[in-house]
């Protein structure tokens, strides 16, 4: 198989996110039949050889250690953990170190048989005739049928493993973490908010897991860490799902806020005129990085701001700065020039991303999974263009106004974040706590 992959003269890889697993190949046109054949063989007939699994276990341990040593990758995990406590998107994206050795070939084969069902698979392509892709899909995947119920032995193994701890914790909450003080603090916080009664996964059947909906709860978490170059603060609210019509105003809000690092070479498209640059980074030299973000999923999303700042700056002041930026969207109408710039930035970002074939085909597959159809760039651009200042204010009140769900607030460093309810109340952001 390695020889066949090399002969394609392209690239073949697999990746996963919180909602999907993707197998993808980029190759010359004449290699499409071979590429689809290799992908099908990899997906449907994996060997999971013992020596290969051991190599991947070591790679997984290294990846977990690396990602959890960096605030920029660890804190988004903590954000999801607190936002969706004990369910769906709140589960760790990376396997906890203590469970890596529990995964063997039999478990993986049983899992792929159960989850790789025809109704859950989308085969997307770009650059080849549609009829050719249909023919290849029928040839290699047309025989698939939904499996019978999975053997109880696998679920009993999962249940047995799960009983070893009250909840599946992110790696930075595990005993194996090299900083006991960090683990102790987080484990205490986690045990106070999570209990078996909160978990919807007592039934580990396929039907229960595949139909589970994300349940947002929000909350706050402080990750104590001394000696860091910067303190970190994350603030997020639950947004709308990818299927909601308000996804476009929400995306414009995120683009309007923008932000980035305190150093930038500037130039077109760098976001230097976004609010977090003009209102924050250009005025507060102690803030090294300040940006908006959104994580969008099939049935929920997160919209928020984060900041990295020097330890001599106060957490209260930084939280007040972030809350002020949200309050401006609640209580002041966005000027027409600023709104037009944000919409153009969003439209150009969408158009530029589609210039990559690999991004195009990934986007196509995800859209079919979520919408059941392709939403073209032109259609998205038109919906963005239709967004008004009134839409932004309405959606802002919906997401982080007084009737919104509580925020998720994460802090990392020496300073605690327990003053956030007072700060948010001062600026009229979020519900009264």
pLDDT for 124-133, tens place per residue?
999 999 999 9
Mean pLDDT over 306-322 rounds to: 97
CA dist., res. 171 & res. 150, Å (int): 29
Whether pLDDT at 177 is above 60: no
Q: Are 384 and 245 in contact (CB under 8 A)?
A: no
Residue 179 is predicted with a pLDDT of 38
Whether pLDDT at 120 is above 60: yes
Whether pLDDT at 170 is above 80: no
Residue 158 is predicted with a pLDDT of 44
Residue 354 is predicted with a pLDDT of 87
Whether pLDDT at 197 is above 60: no
Instruction: Please name the residue that has the structure tokens 């478990």.
Output: 107
What pLDDT band is residue 4 in, cutting at 50, 70 and 90? confident
What pLDDT band is residue 148 in, cutting at 50, 70 and 90? low
Whether pLDDT at 396 is above 60: yes
Whether pLDDT at 268 is above 70: no
Mean pLDDT over 107-128 rounds to: 94
The lowest-confidence range among 10-19, 238-247, 397-406, 414-423 is 10-19
Helix axes 336-353, 389-400, angle to 10 degrees: 80
Do β-strands 408-413 and 219-224 pair in parallel, antiparallel, or remain unpaired?
A: parallel
CB neighbour list of residue 396: distance below 8 Å, 6 or more residues apart = 253, 326, 329, 330
- Cα 420 to the chain's mean position, in Å? 24
**% of the chain surpassing 90 pLDDT:** 71
Whether pLDDT at 384 is above 50: yes
What pLDDT band is residue 223 in, cutting at 50, 70 and 90? very high
Whether pLDDT at 64 is above 80: yes
pTM of this prediction? 0.86
Side-chain-side CA neighbours of residue 39 (13 Å): 28
Whether pLDDT at 206 is above 70: yes
DSSP class of residue 97 equals G
- Going through 208-280 in order, the beta strands assigned E by DSSP cover 219-224, 231-238, 259-261
Mean pLDDT over 393-409 rounds to: 97
Residue 96 is predicted with a pLDDT of 85
**% of the chain surpassing 70 pLDDT:** 85
Whether pLDDT at 50 is above 50: yes
CA dist., res. 193 & res. 2, Å (int): 48
CA dist., res. 376 & res. 166, Å (int): 44
Mean pLDDT over 401-430 rounds to: 97
Q: How confident is the prediction for the chain on average, in pLDDT? A: 86
Mean pLDDT over 355-383 rounds to: 93
The lowest-confidence range among 75-89, 140-154, 156-170 is 156-170
CB neighbour list of residue 203: distance below 8 Å, 6 or more residues apart = none
CA dist., res. 293 & res. 75, Å (int): 13
What pLDDT band is residue 93 in, cutting at 50, 70 and 90? confident
What pLDDT band is residue 150 in, cutting at 50, 70 and 90? very low
For residues 323-356, one letter each, b for 16 or more C-beta atoms within 10 angstroms of the residue's C-beta and e for the rest, the string is bebbbbbbeeebeeeebebbbebbbeebeeebee
3-state secondary structure of 388: coil
Q: Which helix (H) or strand (E) holds 305?
A: strand 301-309
Decide which of 283 and 147 is more confident.
Answer: 283
Residue 406 is predicted with a pLDDT of 97
CA dist., res. 256 & res. 251, Å (int): 9
Residue 167 is predicted with a pLDDT of 41
What separation in angstroms does the CA of 405 have from each of 190, 215, 253, 322, 401? 20, 11, 18, 18, 9
Tens digits of residue pLDDT in 333-350: 999 999 999 999 999 999
- Cα 371 to the chain's mean position, in Å? 19
Residue 155 is predicted with a pLDDT of 46
């Amino acid at each position: 198989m390695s020889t066949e992959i090399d002969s394609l003269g392209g690239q073949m890889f697999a990746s996963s996110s919180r909602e999907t697993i993707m197998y993808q190949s980029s190759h010359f046109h004449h290699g499409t039949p071979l590429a689809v054949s290799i992908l099908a063989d990899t997906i449907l007939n994996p060997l999971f050889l013992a020596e290969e699994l051991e190599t991947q276990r070591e790679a997984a341990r290294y990846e977990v250690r690396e990602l959890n040593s960096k605030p920029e990758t660890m804190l988004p995990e903590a954000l999801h953990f607190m936002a969706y406590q004990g369910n769906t998107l709140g589960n760790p994206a990376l396997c906890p170190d203590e469970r890596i050795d529990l995964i063997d070939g039999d478990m993986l084969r049983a899992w792929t048989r159960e989850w790789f069902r025809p109704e859950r698979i989308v085969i997307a392509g770009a650059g080849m005739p549609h009829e050719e892709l249909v023919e290849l899909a029928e040839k290699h995947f047309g025989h698939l049928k939904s499996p019978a119920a999975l053997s109880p032995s696998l679920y009993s193994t999962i249940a047995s493993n799960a009983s070893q701890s009250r909840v599946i914790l992110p790696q930075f909450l595990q005993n194996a973490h090299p900083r006991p003080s960090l683990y102790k603090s987080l484990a205490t916080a986690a045990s106070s908010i999570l209990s078996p009664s909160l978990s919807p996964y007592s039934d580990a059947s396929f039907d229960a897991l595949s139909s589970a909906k994300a349940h947002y709860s929000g909350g706050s978490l402080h990750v104590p860490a001394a000696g860091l170059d910067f303190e970190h603060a994350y603030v997020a609210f639950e947004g709308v799902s990818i299927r909601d019509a308000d996804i476009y105003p929400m995306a414009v809000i995120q683009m309007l806020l923008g932000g980035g690092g305190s150093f930038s070479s500037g130039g077109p498209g760098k976001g230097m005129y976004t609010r977090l640059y003009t209102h924050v980074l250009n005025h507060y030299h102690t803030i090294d990085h300040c940006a908006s973000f959104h994580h969008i999923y099939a049935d929920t999303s997160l919209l928020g701001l984060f900041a990295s700042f020097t330890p001599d700056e106060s957490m209260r002041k930084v939280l007040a700065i972030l809350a002020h930026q949200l309050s401006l969207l609640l209580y002041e109408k966005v000027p027409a020039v600023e709104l037009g710039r944000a919409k153009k930035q969003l439209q150009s970002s969408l158009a530029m991303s589609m210039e990559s074939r690999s991004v195009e085909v990934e986007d196509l597959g995800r859209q079919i999974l979520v919408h059941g159809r392709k939403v073209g760039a032109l259609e998205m651009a038109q919906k963005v263009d239709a967004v008004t200042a009134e839409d932004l204010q309405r959606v802002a009140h919906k997401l982080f106004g007084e009737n919104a769900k509580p925020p998720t607030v994460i802090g990392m460093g020496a300073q605690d974040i327990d003053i956030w309810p007072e700060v948010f109340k001062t600026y009229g952001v979020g519900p009264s706590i």
